[in-house]
Amino acid sequence: MNSGATRRPTVFSVSEIGDNQLEIRKSGSGGSLPLIVMAVVVVVWGLGPPITKLVTAPPLIGTFVRFGISSPLLLVVLAARGRVLSRKILLATALPGLSFGFNLIFVFSALQEATVSVLSTVIAMQPALLLVFAGPLFREYPSGRQLAFTLFGVVGAVGVILGAGSQVRSSWLGIGFAALALATFTLYFVLTRLARVDDEVDPIEWMAGINIWSFLSTIVPILLLADRSDWAQFGGADWLWISVVAFVTGVFGHVLMTWLHGHLEAARSSLYILTMHLVAVGLAWWIHDEPITWLQGMSGGVVLVCVALVVTAPDRREVQ
């Protein structure tokens, strides 16, 4: 880039740098704020699985209600801020929103054919998968240190998940659904990340569009698969627990994560999310009396060490 050339500002940097200059900086922008927000996301997302387990209604009904109550809330919040969901954002969120909705459908389908451990183990592969896309899509080229500790972190997360000692079972169909769940969540993650790179997207407006399309993605499965007896099972305490999942884990957690996409490298943030498995296991011990084994404890330590070592490594982003 010539000294007189202009460059469209992004959420990462508004400064100009040379063609061959590599921008190196500490994790994210804004000092420690992105890491603090990331820690909040880890906690609220880790809250999701133990709370979801308290919902007694069929999963498809719970998903339909979850998006059905979160979508209007986000539109109300937008209106209170003097904004509306623009046609541009509504169209831009179509593919990631449908991907997010289908992701939950594939998750529930996988759980009909496989144990939670099998599904969680497949989903834990996401940080390694994102390393493949980080360079060509985001121009984020992880160092050897990041690559190594990301892979160690994935192994540690698998140990946390499988270390409970529960019986691991799955059909090939279950593994297929789990792989589709991984693919659709990664697609949602990548498309949202790309939107934050290219434009300064309002996180609440973006998630309003995501939730509307996710809600629409559940309508056809509901019409085809749900019957009156399924609806009869939803009620009572389910309203409380599904509201926590929708508003705390869903709206609050995903709005913060959308903001974080503009302040942390994709490969980094995906690695940090692995620590949500530690939160989930700890809360499951407290809420559901699920024991924590020594293997889970050691594997959790591996995850924390890997995350800590990557946090201290500088960002490396190639900027055109």
pLDDT tens-digit readout, 239-252:
999 999 999 999 99
The DSSP annotation for 78-95 comes to HHHTT----HHHHHHTHH
What local confidence, expressed as pLDDT, does residue 316 receive?
52
What local confidence, expressed as pLDDT, does residue 60 receive?
84
What local confidence, expressed as pLDDT, does residue 21 receive?
39
Residue with tokens 């404890």: 297
What local confidence, expressed as pLDDT, does residue 312 receive?
65
What local confidence, expressed as pLDDT, does residue 98 receive?
94
pTM for the full model?
A: 0.74
Mean pLDDT in consecutive groups of 10 residues from the start of the chain, 320 residues: 38 33 42 89 88 83 93 95 93 93 80 63 71 67 71 76 60 79 87 73 92 94 90 92 93 92 78 79 78 76 76 52
